[in-house]
Amino acid sequence: MNIDFRDKNVFVMGGTSGINLGVADAFAESGARVAVASRSREKVDAAVDRLRRHDGEVSGYVADVRDESAVGEALGSAHEALGPLDVLVSGAAGNFPAPALGMSPNGFKAVVEIDLQGSFNVLRAAFPTLARPGAAVINISAPQAFVPMELQAHVCAAKAGVDMLTRVLAMEWGREGVRVNSVVPGPIADTEGMRRLAPSEKLTTAVRESVPLGRLGSAREVASTIMFLASPFANYVTGAVIPVDGGWSLGGASRMSAALSDAFAQQAGG
């Protein structure tokens, strides 16, 4: 399959590290004009530098997805600089492992505001900047959206909401020619998400062994599915929630819930 993104405009919210930066990098390598945004000016500048090695047009914006007007400004500036957006990837997220009783209301709220309200803010502000018809929106979800996991009440609630946003907006925006899908990464190597959820070698090994394909995934593998969804090969795909997880959500993620919870309790107990 040869997918060409030359002359396409791609915006990746939260695209300055980890999986999302890998996604931005894959689009830049395929010839797209790429814009990334996140909270930290340092991370934005570093990501822009890295993406420029592909010689394409790259821009970066500072915005917190919880700040509706900053999000609007970032998307508006990208629209002005590049023209209508062909692809929007919305992947800003936060996570920390904590039992519900060890999580303050503000801790729960912080994650829900970044992952869920933030996704709403981004999609809502992006709509006028999208190429219509033809644009593809891809939300980054997580197995926690449909696999309940201990220590993850905030993420489970937020990402389940993100997948529902995907489905509702796929219905509302379908007639405008805008497709909306979710991609659900499983455990991805060398990411902040994995460092937080499986902070020891022992836990990382246990996670790996709980994946049917027997290994962690890579950001490139997540990017491949996102690029498929953004391409004409997926012209009739909308409202889909697609795991890219080596089969982890079939059972392994559920089994790991207790192991992660035990490890956390042992660590907390010293």
**Contacts with ligand COA, residue ranges (CB under 6 A):** 93-96, 98, 102-104, 106-107, 110-111, 192-193, 196
Residue of 8, 9, 10, 19 interacting with ligand NAP (CB under 6 A): 19
111 binds, among ligand COA, ligand NAP, none (CB under 5 to 8 A by kind): ligand COA
Strand 136-140: give its sheet, edge to edge. 58-62, 33-38, 9-13, 87-90, 136-140, 179-185, 241-244
Query: At closest approach, how far in Å is the CB of 240 from ligand NAP?
Result: 16
Number of residues near ligand NAP (by CB under 6 A): 28
17 binds, among ligand NAP, ligand COA, none (CB under 5 to 8 A by kind): ligand NAP
Q: Does 59 bind ligand NAP (CB under 6 A)?
A: no
Q: Using CB atoms, what's the residue nearest to ligand NAP?
A: 18
Residue of 43, 154, 179, 208 interacting with ligand NAP (CB under 6 A): 43
Kindly give, in sequence order, each residue whose CB lies less than 8 Å from that of residue 1, ignoring residues fewer than 6 positions away.
Answer: 228, 233
Query: Which strand (E) or helix (H) includes residue 208?
Result: helix 201-209
**Nearest to 159, CA basis, from 138, 184, 123, 181:** 184
221 binds, among ligand COA, ligand NAP, none (CB under 5 to 8 A by kind): none
Q: Does 16 bind ligand NAP (CB under 6 A)?
A: yes
Q: Which of residues 142-181 bind ligand NAP (CB under 6 A)?
A: 142
- Residue type for position 62: V
**Nearest to 22, CA basis, from 47, 45, 57:** 47
CB atoms within 10 A of CB 235: 10
Residue span 87-106 as binding mask against ligand NAP, x where in contact by CB under 6 A, dash where not: ----xxxx------------
**Nearest to 92, CA basis, from 169, 177, 19:** 19
- Residue type for position 97: P
Question: What torsion do the CA atoms of 193, 199, 200, 203 make, to the nearest 10 degrees?
Answer: -60
19 binds, among ligand NAP, ligand COA, none (CB under 5 to 8 A by kind): ligand NAP
Which residue, 136 or 244, has its beta carbon nearer to ligand NAP?
Answer: 244
Query: At closest approach, how far in Å is the CB of 219 from ligand NAP?
Result: 7
Specify the stretch interacting with ligand NAP by CB under 6 A; choose among 50-58, 81-89, 126-134, 186-194: 186-194
Contact indicator for 173, 234 with CB cutoff of 8 Å: no
65 binds, among ligand COA, ligand NAP, none (CB under 5 to 8 A by kind): ligand NAP
| Residue found under tokens 């040869």 | 2
Specify the stretch interacting with ligand NAP by CB under 6 A; choose among 183-191, 199-207, 235-243, 250-258: 183-191
Residue of 76, 193, 199, 239 interacting with ligand NAP (CB under 6 A): 193
SS3 34: strand
> How far is Cα 205 from Cα 265, in angstroms, rounded to an integer?
19
Contact indicator for 67, 115 with CB cutoff of 8 Å: no
